[in-house]
Amino acid sequence: MILTVKLNDNLDFPIIGLGTYNAGKEGEVEEVVKHAIDIGYRHIDGALVYENEKEVGAAIKAKIAEGVIMRDDIFVTSKLWNTYHKPELVMQGIKKTLSDLGLEYLDLYLVHWPFAFQEGGSLMPKDENDKFIPSDVDYLDTWKVMEECVKLGLTKSVGLSNFNSEQIQRVLDVATIKPVVNQIECHPYLNQSKLIAFCKERGIVVTAYSPLGSPNSIAMADTPAPLKDPKLQEIAKEHEKTAAQIILRYLIQHGTVPIPKSSNKERLKENIDIFNFKLSPQEMASIDALDRNVRVCTFAEDHKLYPFNIEF
Ligand code: A2P
């Protein structure tokens, strides 16, 4: 049984979920999601741009058909891609996701990034110099239609992803339905303490993506990986846990909701076996001290709405 936290619209959000970005090769993701549900995961985080929502949906529907879960037992998140920000395209974006998943509603729909890309073609439209082709849509116009998605029952809640504090505040200043979540990269080497505090003060829960620092990503190849950190390994030894379990527990004790991914059965189990121990305030502080501003996920950095050029 996974614990939940209340969102600002009073809905329950399981405090750990399964990430599905690169969560296995084609054909593997369905098995991973099925197994995750079998062993107790009740929160699946996906997105249109991951291009695997058919498999994710097939797994969820199979588990509903088998009677392992009912639709209401599982929290399903997806995200509006950057080529669908124009108000007239937002409904298309969510409807494509719902149709690929084969579900009637989402629990949570996020604006994946604060910036938009040229609409209508590739999900990653690039010019001859390999630069992303931007589209000049203000995410406040996108947000109005996100609210419509709630009113039409296509999603229960709406939220943000990769928004900085100024961008979040702009949305809050006009929202009639508040974002419940901001999903950001968060791990011991990028602990996001300021943005987490900012969100907490405004009733927004932070979902932590790349919680383990995405150890197998190319971007991480030259940078130190938190899983190998000596301090984390020392704390892990004391608790007879793994470094991954210490990191996930640390993120949860800070009130964030990590969404680790794994395509390995043992590690899937390991990552939710974190509710039978506690980190002390001293241990939390020593992990806080590991912060070093290492970001795995940088993307379209020259877009004028790129979020990570300010302090938080
Ligand atoms: P694998 O699929 O072989 O388990 P993140 O969620 O931060 O992006 O990290 C995901 C990566 O971390 C995946 O490559 C996954 O590899 C690996 N991983 C997931 N869980 C664990 C774990 N408990 N211990 C070590 N590596 C893990």
- Nearest residue by C-alpha to atom 9 in ligand 1: 214
Architecture of domain 4-309: Alpha-Beta Barrel (3.20)
> Per mean pLDDT, which range of 19-28, 33-42, 200-209 is the poorest?
19-28
Choose the catalytic residue: 50, 109, 189, 209: 50
Q: 50 an active-site residue?
A: yes
Report in angstroms the alpha-carbon separations of 55 from 23, 31, 41, 294: 11, 9, 16, 32
pLDDT digits (tens, 9 = 90+) for 102-151: 999 999 999 999 999 999 999 999 999 999 999 999 999 999 999 999 99
Q: Say what the pLDDT of residue 232 is.
A: 98
Question: pTM of the prediction?
Answer: 0.97
**Where exactly are the structural domains of the chain?**
4-309
Q: List ligand 1's pocket residues with C-beta within 6 A.
A: 19, 210-216, 227, 242, 244, 260-264, 267, 270-271
DSSP per residue, 103-150: -S-EEEEEES-SSEE-SSS-SS-B-TTS-B-EE---HHHHHHHHHHHH
- Nearest residue by C-alpha to atom 14 in ligand 1: 216
Q: Locate the ligand 1 atom nearest the alpha carbon of residue 262 and give its number.
A: 2
Q: How far is the CA of 217 from the centre of ligand 1 (A)?
A: 10
Given a cut of 90, whether residue 27 has pLDDT beyond it is no
- Nearest residue by C-alpha to atom 11 in ligand 1: 214
Q: Locate the ligand 1 atom nearest the alpha carbon of residue 264 and give its number.
A: 4
Q: What is the mean pLDDT of the chain?
A: 96
Q: Locate the ligand 1 atom nearest the alpha carbon of residue 243 and give its number.
A: 24
Q: How far is the CA of 260 from the centre of ligand 1 (A)?
A: 7
- Nearest residue by C-alpha to atom 16 in ligand 1: 262
Given a cut of 80, whether residue 222 has pLDDT beyond it is no
Contacts of 130 (CB under 8 A, 6+ apart): none
Given a cut of 70, whether residue 237 has pLDDT beyond it is yes
**For a substitution probing ligand 1, which of 187, 212, 241, 270 has the most ligand atoms within 8 Å of its CB?**
212
Q: Say what the pLDDT of residue 44 is.
A: 98
Q: How far is the CA of 60 from the centre of ligand 1 (A)?
A: 22
pLDDT band at 219 (very low <50, low <70, confident <90, very high): low
Q: How far is the CA of 156 from the centre of ligand 1 (A)?
A: 29
Q: How far is the CA of 15 from the centre of ligand 1 (A)?
A: 18
pLDDT band at 221 (very low <50, low <70, confident <90, very high): low
**pLDDT > 90 in the chain, percent:** 93
**For a substitution probing ligand 1, which of 28, 35, 185, 261 has the most ligand atoms within 8 Å of its CB?**
261
Own/partner contacts of 128-133, CB < 8 Å, gap of 24 or more, are 131/302, 132/300, 132/302, 132/303
d(CA 158, CA 147): 7
State mean pLDDT over 11-25: 92
Given a cut of 70, whether residue 34 has pLDDT beyond it is yes
pLDDT digits (tens, 9 = 90+) for 277-296: 999 999 999 999 999 999 99
Q: Locate the ligand 1 atom nearest the alpha carbon of residue 259 and give its number.
A: 6
State mean pLDDT over 28-51: 98
For residue 86, give both structure tokens: 């124009």
